[in-house]
Structures are given as structure tokens and as C-alpha cells.
């Protein structure tokens, strides 16, 4: 009996101790960021990053939102992120439906071309996209940022959605076609509702990627009127002196929208991951 209990305790220790250490390493920077956000710069410089607030300081939230123009940059990020997510879902759903439900020549090659977009880092497209945006006159505009994010999201979105669309029973699609339904109707009224978990998974990843994007915001924007929040934080909050409190407050406020998106869509996300693992 004691030997069985010891084996179970050892098994639990082997399983949970590394996970606990990993969780601690991940949560530690977040904890320090929250502590720094509620402390003044004088308190941080005097007592160090790891001390509790003495006293509690919340003035940085109002200062960053107004003086630091964080509200403007968050608005810009919403203007960029929401159309980018919707545009990538719309375009990838059309491509995924064609790849998964139709038979045509070079189908596998077309799929590999979409999938090949995951092989190259964004730095390889920097110069061509920069000059293309200049030529199309969408440089330093919301439209240019949205187009870049939609295009760069297509490989991952098509890879995920096409696998889910292919798993939908063919009998459902054929029954709708026999009843006279057009392909657009089948996609919008049958396939999309059945693939809501997949769309939620892609939407969460895409929203997080676009919202936290720094690279394309740095390459494709110049003026504060179109810069996303990640660029705005670095260009305004740390321009002349490193503002510990301001940077941390900006990070805390910037992480709220992706966190809320995940909270509201986590049920669909978990269901989508479970379905994907089962397939």
C-alpha cells in the first residue's frame, strides 16, 4: 500500500513539478509588470523592481492614457486588427472551401503554395512589400496595414480551416446540392456554422498576432495617427527617458483586449483544439 502511494506521489511530482516551474517562469515577468504599473518611478528607482508598492500609485494609468496618447494608439490597433481578422477569415474560408471540397488539377500544388507561406519569416518580404505599398499609395495607412496582415495570415488560416472543412461529411454537402443550393449558400449556411470552433481558433490567433505586432507596424507606418499600440508605446512612452511606470501601465492596458477575446472565445477555442486532435 505504501509502495503504491509512493509511486503515485513520485509520478505526480515528476509530472507537476516541471509544469509548476515552467508556469512560474512564465508568470514572473507578468507579475513584475503589474507591480511596476502600480508604483511610481521614484519608488522603483529607490527600492528596486521587486519591492511592493510604497505607497500604491495609480496615477500612471491616467497619465499614459492622456499625455502618452495610449488611447489613440489603442484605437489605431482596433482599426487595424478587427478588419484584418475578418478579412483573413473571409478570404481563407473561400480558399479552404475550394481546396477541401472541390477536385481540380494541381490541387495539391495550390495547397502547398498556401502552406509555403509559413516557411518564410516576415523579414524576407520586407523590401518587396515596402516598395509595393509605396507604389500602391497605401504606405502609412490603415489600408496598407490591413492588407499586409490579411495576406500574411492566409497560410495558417487556410491550413486550419481546410482540414476542418474536409472533415465535414460529404453527405451533408451533397444533400444540399441535390436540393439546389448554390456553393455560396452551402459555405455560408452549412459549412461555416459547423466550423465555428475552427473560426474561433483562427480568430484568437490572428487577433493576438496583429494586436501584438511590432515588425509590420514599424515598417509600414510613420505617423502617430496610424501607428498601432506596440509602436506607440515605444515611440512615446520611452522617447526621452525610460519610464518604468509608463511602460508597464501601457503593457497592462495593451494586454487587456487579447485577454478578453480569449476569455469570450475560449469555449470554442478549446473545442476546436479538441476536434483537431481527434481528427
Mean pLDDT of 108-131: 83
Distances (CA, A) of 249 to 68, 111, 115, 172, 253: 11, 43, 38, 51, 6
- Tell me, yes or no, whether 60 lies in a domain: no
Residue 38 has which C-alpha cell? 502600480
Does residue 164 share a domain with residue 266?
yes
Q: How far apart are CA 81 and CA 204, in angstroms?
A: 11
With cut-offs at 50, 70 and 90, classify the pLDDT of residue 138.
very high
Task: Check whether 279 has a pLDDT greater than 70.
Answer: no
- Tell me, yes or no, whether 46 lies in a domain: no
Domain count, the chain: 2
Q: How far apart are CA 174 and CA 118, in angstroms?
A: 33
Does residue 23 share a domain with residue 127?
no
Does residue 177 share a domain with residue 266?
yes
0.75 exceeded by pTM:
yes
- Whether the CB-CB separation of 210 and 78 falls below 8 Å is answered with no
Q: How far apart are CA 221 and CA 144, in angstroms?
A: 9
**DSSP codes of every residue in 158-197:** HHHHHHHHHHS-HHHHHHHHHTT--HHHHIIIIIHHHTHH
What's the pLDDT tens digit per position in 159-207?
Answer: 889 888 888 888 888 888 888 888 889 899 889 988 888 898 899 999 9
Task: Check whether 238 has a pLDDT greater than 80.
Answer: no
| CATH number for the domain harbouring residue 130 | 1.10.3720.10
Does residue 153 share a domain with residue 18?
no
Range of the domain at 29: 2-37
Q: How far apart are CA 107 and CA 127, in angstroms?
A: 30
Does residue 146 share a domain with residue 22?
no
Look over the chain and give the mean of its residue pLDDT values, rounded to a whole number.
Answer: 84
Does residue 235 share a domain with residue 97?
yes
- Tell me, yes or no, whether 245 lies in a domain: yes
Of 52, 41, 26, 38, nearest to 237 by C-alpha is 41
Does residue 78 share a domain with residue 196?
yes
- Tell me, yes or no, whether 91 lies in a domain: yes
Does residue 223 share a domain with residue 122?
yes
- Tell me, yes or no, whether 209 lies in a domain: yes
- Whether the CB-CB separation of 246 and 63 falls below 8 Å is answered with yes
- Tell me, yes or no, whether 148 lies in a domain: yes
Percent of the chain with pLDDT over 70: 90
Percent of the chain with pLDDT over 90: 23
Cβ contacts of 262 within 8 Å, gap of 6 or more: 204, 208, 269
Task: Give the chain's largest Cα–Cα span.
Answer: 76
Amino acid at each position: 500500500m505504501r509502495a503504491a502511494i509512493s509511486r503515485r506521489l513520485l509520478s505526480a511530482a515528476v509530472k507537476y513539478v516541471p509544469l509548476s516551474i515552467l508556469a512560474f517562469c512564465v508568470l514572473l515577468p507578468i507579475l513584475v509588470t503589474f507591480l511596476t504599473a502600480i508604483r511610481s518611478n521614484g519608488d522603483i528607482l529607490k527600492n528596486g523592481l521587486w519591492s511592493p508598492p510604497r505607497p500604491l500609485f495609480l496615477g500612471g494609468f491616467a497619465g499614459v492614457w492622456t499625455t502618452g496618447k495610449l488611447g489613440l494608439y489603442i484605437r489605431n490597433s482596433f482599426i487595424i486588427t478587427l478588419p484584418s481578422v475578418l478579412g483573413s477569415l473571409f478570404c481563407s474560408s473561400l480558399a479552404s472551401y475550394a481546396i477541401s471540397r472541390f477536385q481540380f488539377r494541381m490541387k495539391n500544388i495550390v495547397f502547398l503554395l498556401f502552406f509555403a507561406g509559413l516557411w518564410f519569416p516576415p523579414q524576407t518580404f520586407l523590401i518587396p512589400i515596402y516598395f509595393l505599398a509605396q507604389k500602391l499609395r497605401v504606405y502609412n495607412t490603415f489600408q496598407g496595414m490591413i492588407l499586409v496582415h490579411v495576406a500574411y495570415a492566409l497560410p495558417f488560416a487556410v491550413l486550419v480551416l481546410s482540414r476542418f472543412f474536409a472533415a465535414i461529411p460529404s453527405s451533408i454537402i451533397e444533400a444540399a446540392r441535390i436540393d439546389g443550393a448554390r456553393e455560396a449558400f452551402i459555405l455560408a449556411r452549412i459549412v461555416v456554422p459547423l466550423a465555428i470552433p475552427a473560426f474561433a481558433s483562427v480568430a484568437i490567433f490572428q487577433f493576438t498576432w496583429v494586436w501584438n505586432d511590432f515588425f509590420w507596424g514599424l515598417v509600414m507606418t510613420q505617423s502617430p495617427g496610424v501607428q498601432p499600440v506596440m509602436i506607440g508605446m515605444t515611440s512615446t512612452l520611452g522617447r526621452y527617458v525610460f519610464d518604468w511606470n509608463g511602460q508597464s501601465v501601457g503593457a497592462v492596458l495593451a494586454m487587456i483586449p487579447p485577454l478578453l477575446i480569449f476569455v469570450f472565445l475560449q469555449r470554442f477555442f478549446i473545442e476546436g483544439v479538441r476536434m483537431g486532435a481527434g481528427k
